[in-house]
Structure 1
């Protein structure tokens, strides 16, 4: 027999014979009737685990990572309120079931079995994945989480305190709520988890409200790698700013009492706590995992002997709540009921087509209060003397600063966060004066951890804010890109749009900075951002476009709940001149707050028919320089600014090149994996114009005089254009 069958037979045999494991007597505030309810939740969790394996054997189920051994989490759910948002470990079916008992109208067995069967009627993911999650239960969906959900739990906890001080339009959490986040002992070692623990402690240490309960379910092993004995307790018992609690997850009375104490500490003190729960893992990691291949059989059997359901039978008998015979009856009835429900669940429809799967990639629009722009009085107060300069040409960095000011005046739910965005005003001064204008609640100086910055933004977005996090340099995003890919972008996908995390992430990036930082600060790779389904990537080339596009990005986030990245070309921040020193050709005046550039709208400079040069950001700037040189040679070119890098504005680009004889793509990102590959495919498939490209080399960027050697220049664009027109490309 497999281990699951062995555990089940042992349970039946030991309950009948009265051979129950030893342990402490039931004690604490958990009443006997409530304990019986928790036992029912534990039995349902166990029955679902067993049924998932049966469904897989029949080809009707597709997920077998179970919760067996972790059923004590039902008691944690009972200690919390159903309005407390919960970011769950994938072994927390018992938690969700017990929480379902707190909210009328739930059908937990049916819902979870639909999820096992990947039915399109699954109420949370619509058949896209087996996930724990429920809008009604305040459980955002999590899939096979390692630790990626911890940073956003920190952000959600921060958002509760922030909303008490400054309520956003779409706030969802009660002011007295606490956030619960659970994970395994192995996951606690992940750098993402360690960053979240550090951020929570760092925040709490400064007496900033952070009502967050970390719950570590310690079964002593991560797939096959053991957690050293004492590692979790010794590592978390004395963390600054985070209070430590511990309990025996095999004992629902102890777990309930300790979880209740920990939750009350967090709720009353508005400080984070760490609840360390002893559990066991039954059946191995998942259906295909055989624990006895890497663990001594005696160790596996020792965990099986500590089956938490057996402990619950003993405790319920001791509390006078349930006899062993009645407990066994509940277990058997639950097993039979789940089998009956599963027989119906597997007949329900499943996703069939690509459009079915992709239907929830884009979140739904939401109703927002109308805005008419900031008042003249508010603008005069915020801008002060800067208001007089709006009609004179300015470089991009200053125009973006003014655009951010107007946006924050108009939309009170906008909050910015990042390293140095507040008091310093950003590395390049783009956010200067915003802290004085809007205060530290809306201009949050964070610690140096990109995962925590993005997690803060995701968590705040889930409580109604419109976050505008900043990553100082594009090269720094790679430390945290999974917060965008694995968390922010997938949330509407796995929840059918029931949960969203709209934001506008500002990143300073791309190349052409003279002699500064090499590839640590000059990063011309956007592939990771273009590879995330549902993400919008915008990139302006000048100040006026930047202001107008930024307004559209905020609209997309606020009204359409989109995940937007606004990539700002660092080298163009201070750019003043275009063709010669002092011409001021790249500065613009500040466009009024009512002006914007629509999503997918491209820019066109000139109407030349000899050649259409398609580029963006620094490439657009350099192409405009080359355009003037080509004109002196009698070559009439137009220069097209793509502006929107993901998804590409395909129809607008095809329309923009009409009437030209040839197309030249100028791409400052790398030849391999860069934007030019997609543009080449677009023009090859979408029109019959001869098309060539000039792209950056597949290289990192050097510091010093060779800062631009691997990327297109005005000279190389000019030469490439001539070659294309002469048929040499």
Structure 2
């Protein structure tokens, strides 16, 4: 039985040989014969790559077979766009990248893709880590197997272009660029995609510049589930805030007409466009997908009749190119790529864990130097706080002032989130930032965490430094894949060529008795701890919060890191540690304080009997427990981790030192918490220590007086410490 790819190939060759080509009109939409020939070459190269990928897989030399066959009309979009129009593309976009590469000398897109098929470490974009469409020089950030998860950041990048213009900051792409984001019709139904469309329309409704083209390549099916006929048009033709353009992706002339109309409209009006391109999916979803098992043969053959290469060939034949030459172009591409493939599969592969992981942490960047604000500037900035700035303050106010100072020093910083503007956030941490820096730098977003994080990722793409705020820790679960699947993976799949520098501020952790239950008292950080490359920071005092935030901004700016900065809500307004009025949890704001560097732990006291290892609210409670333990004859040192990922292993072992016992205090739930990792850590690295832990119960947190019943407490820490001492 002949396979699907070979069947389509044989039909194409036969129809070219017999000049049995589709009927075409006289219009060329501004495309010259040379233009059409170039597009045909790109489409043919893409098609032959698809065929070759399946042959390589059958030999065990290729590892990816989701192809672009039937979608080669997207080459016309590349021709209509500028090479500087950043393009976030899905996996059926090989023809786009091949065609775009012709705008820059020295590009070798088919060789690059063959290296990618073969998972060679010499693949210039992903280094053998995945088959991706992507190129730094071509302004195509790499995507993997997208289900529209890239759309929020594409919207964010388009939004950020307008922000940069208003901020007076030169973006990393030309200011009049258009953002292009392609996806399939099935992905358009995903909540992530719907959120992106809604955000774009919401912004456009208010007149906010947002030059983006959503390219929906509609082949009528998602793996095996058909898209209802007319569904995409019904959904988007009259959608608020989106300008709708339709075109036939199997007809390169009409595809170019639609692409030009869409891109020109987005560039001229700076408003979002939905480009609905009808396509066909030839072969099936991927090499292992036999579509004859779930589709009628008549439907498959009807799609094969709409093969876009046949239509482009018809235009060239009508314009005087002999059919034999068209066949020769097709055959030469096959032979040339087959020879290149034999070379590509022999190229080096990733050969060690270190090689695989080399791009998890991006290489150092060269950011613009921080400004050195004058005394007059800082005096003006804090004029309304002049009566308080030299007095001890709690964490929330210290963080607010630190953010203001950082924004003064770094003109590229953007703060964004729900209610961060005039309201100043739920806990007043962003108070007065809006009046100090304006709406271009302090952005009130809509209520959608995917869009907030997408905005942050997009800002990073165009050269801004985002500090997004997620209002409560539990809310991040609505959008966690923007951190895991998009932000954290970008340097990994681009060898550090693309990064998402950001500091995500999140109010969270437990110990609030009167507010919100489990949605506002969430005590799990597991969603961040196992994401490679992400930095997780948790301060336990206002002074540390300021010093750590400065380090977080440095990590984002100089190292391109994705940083999660968890601010313990229960400590925001806390002033006292042991007794009312002691003020030990406050500090005087210091604009020149030394940052707490990544990996530096905090140490409280020099007790030798016991080391209490903790963080966040746990550090506060453990310090409260110290005098009670001392009264019982137990001198304890409290070690505040500060940095939960990566774990500050060397500093932690040094701080524990010769102390024979370690008590781990973890405010997160026992299962999946940092305490589990710490128990394993001490077992492996310090097996001579007696180690115990106290963590929260595996429970959600209720409202009111019951809010702390499942959590570690001061007295519980004292009891656990005494029990550990009693074990000898």
Same fold flag (TM > 0.5): yes
- Aligned equivalents of 1:31 and 1:160: distance in 2? 33
- Quick check: 1:419–1:470 contact (8 Å CA) kept in 2? yes
How far is 1:592 from its partner? 2.8
Alignment correspondent of 2:462: 463
Shift of 1:680: 1.0
Match of 1:693 in 2: 693
* Counterpart check, 1:213 vs 2:206: no
Distance 2:389 2:174 in 1: 42
Q: Does 1:611 align with 2:610?
A: yes
Partners of 1:523 and 1:706 lie apart in 2 by 14
Q: Size of the alignment, in residue pairs? A: 726
**1:120 shift after superposition:** 0.5
Deviation at residue 24 of structure 1 after TM alignment:
4.2
Which position in structure 2 is the counterpart of 1:317?
A: 317
Q: Residues 456-486 of structure 1, C-alpha deviation per residue, up to 9 Å, x if partnerless?
A: 0000101111100000000000000000011
Bigger mean CA deviation after superposition, 680-689 or 550-559: 680-689
Q: Distance in 2 between matches of 1:593 and 1:182?
A: 46
Query: Is 1:74 matched with 2:75?
Result: yes
Distance 2:598 2:530 in 1: 19
How far off is 1:678 after superposition? 1.0
Which residue of structure 1 lines up, in the alignment, with residue 59 of structure 2?
Answer: 58
What is residue 286 of structure 2 aligned with on the other side?
Answer: 286
Which residue of 2 is the match for residue 115 of structure 1? 116
1:153 is the counterpart of 2:154: yes
- 1:36/1:322 contact within 8 Å kept: no
Counterpart position of 2:326? 327
Contact between 2:361 and 2:491, CA under 8 Å: does it hold in 1? Answer: yes
Report 1:480-491 matches (<5 A).
480-491=479-490
User: What is the 5 A alignment of 1:95-244?
Assistant: 95-168=96-169, 171-244=171-244
Q: CA deviation at 1:373?
A: 4.0
Does the 8 Å contact 2:417/2:469 carry over to 1? yes
Rounded to whole Å, the distance in 1 between the matches of 2:590 and 2:716 is 33
Does 2:439 align with 1:440? yes
How far apart are 1:9 and its partner, in Å? 0.4
Contact 2:185 2:220 in 1 (8 A): yes
Deviations 1:484-518 (A, max 9, x none): 01100111100101111100000000000013111
Determine if contact 2:402/2:591 at 8 Å carries over to the other structure.
no
1:559 is the counterpart of 2:542: no
2:714 aligned residue: 714
Instruction: Note closer, same or farther for the CA distance 1:262–1:321 as it changes in structure 2 (3 Å cut).
Output: farther
Residues 201-243 of structure 1: per-residue CA shift (max 9 Å, x gap): 0001111111101100000000000000010001000111110
Counterparts of residues 380-529 of structure 1 (less than 5 Å): 380-529=379-528
Mean CA deviation greater in 579-588 or 330-339: 579-588
Measure the CA separation in 1 of the matches of 2:682 and 2:388: 42
Consecutive unaligned residues of structure 2, counting only runs of 5 or more, are: none
Q: Deviations over 1:142-197 (max 9, x none)?
A: 1111111000000111121222222447x311011100000000000000000000
The question of whether the paired residues in 2 share the 8 Å contact of 1:32 and 1:321 is answered with no
SS of aligned partner of 2:455: helix
Q: Could you say which residue in structure 2 is the equivalent of 1:538? A: 537
Contact 2:398 2:542 in 1 (8 A): yes
Equivalent residue of 2:388, what SS? helix
The aligned counterpart of 2:38 is: 37
Q: CA deviation at 1:290?
A: 0.1
The 8 Å contact of residues 35 and 321 in structure 1, kept in 2 or not, is answered as no
3-state DSSP of counterpart to 1:95: helix
For 2:47, what is the secondary structure of its paired residue? helix
Q: Does 1:359 align with 2:377?
A: no
Aligned equivalent of 2:255: 255
Question: How many Å separate the matches in 2 of 1:558 and 1:487?
Answer: 18
Residues 340-379 of structure 1 mapped to structure 2, 5 A cutoff: 340-371=339-370, 373-379=372-378
Distance 2:131 2:386 in 1: 54
Q: CA deviation at 1:609?
A: 0.5
Tell me the secondary structure at the aligned position of residue 555 of structure 1. Answer: helix
Q: How far has the Cα of 1:29 moved from its partner? A: 1.2
Contact 1:451 1:479 in 2 (8 A): yes
* 1:340-373 Cα distance to aligned partner (Å, 9 max, x none): 1111111100001000000000101112333364
Q: CA offsets per residue over residues 524-558 of structure 1, 9 Å max, x none?
A: 10001001100000000010000000000001111
- Give, in whole Å, the separation in 1 of the partners of 2:137 and 2:678: 44
Report the more deviating stretch, 101-110 or 147-156: 101-110
> In terms of mean alpha carbon deviation, does 156-165 or 624-633 score higher?
156-165
Question: 2:87·2:140 contact (CA, 8 Å) conserved in 1?
Answer: yes
Using the TM superposition, give the Cα deviation of residue 377 of structure 1 relative to its aligned residue in structure 2, in angstroms: 1.1
Aligned-partner SS, 2:8: helix
Residue number in structure 1 paired with 2:578: 579
Give, in whole Å, the separation in 1 of the partners of 2:526 and 2:168: 37
Q: Is the 8 A contact 1:418 1:453 kept in 2?
A: yes
Structure 1 pair 373–699 and aligned structure 2 pair: CA distance change class (3 A): farther
What residue in structure 1 maps to residue 668 of structure 2?
A: 669
Whether contact under 8 Å (2:504, 2:564) holds in the other structure is yes
Contact 1:373 1:594 in 2 (8 A): no
TM-fit CA distance, 1:321 = 4.9
In the TM superposition, what is the alpha-carbon distance from 1:659 to its structure 2 partner? 2.9
Asked if the contact 2:615/2:640 (under 8 Å) is kept, the reply is yes
Contact 2:185–2:221 (CA under 8 A) maintained in structure 1:
yes
1:305 aligns with 2:285: no
TM-score normalised to structure 2 length: 0.98
Alignment check: 8 A CA contact 1:133 1:142 kept: yes
Q: Secondary structure at the match of 1:295?
A: coil
Say whether the 8 Å CA contact 1:622–1:714 is kept in structure 2: yes
RMSD of aligned alpha carbons: 1.1
Look up the match of 2:3.
2
Shift of the alpha carbon at 1:338? 0.7
Q: Which residue of 1 aligns with 2:94?
A: 93
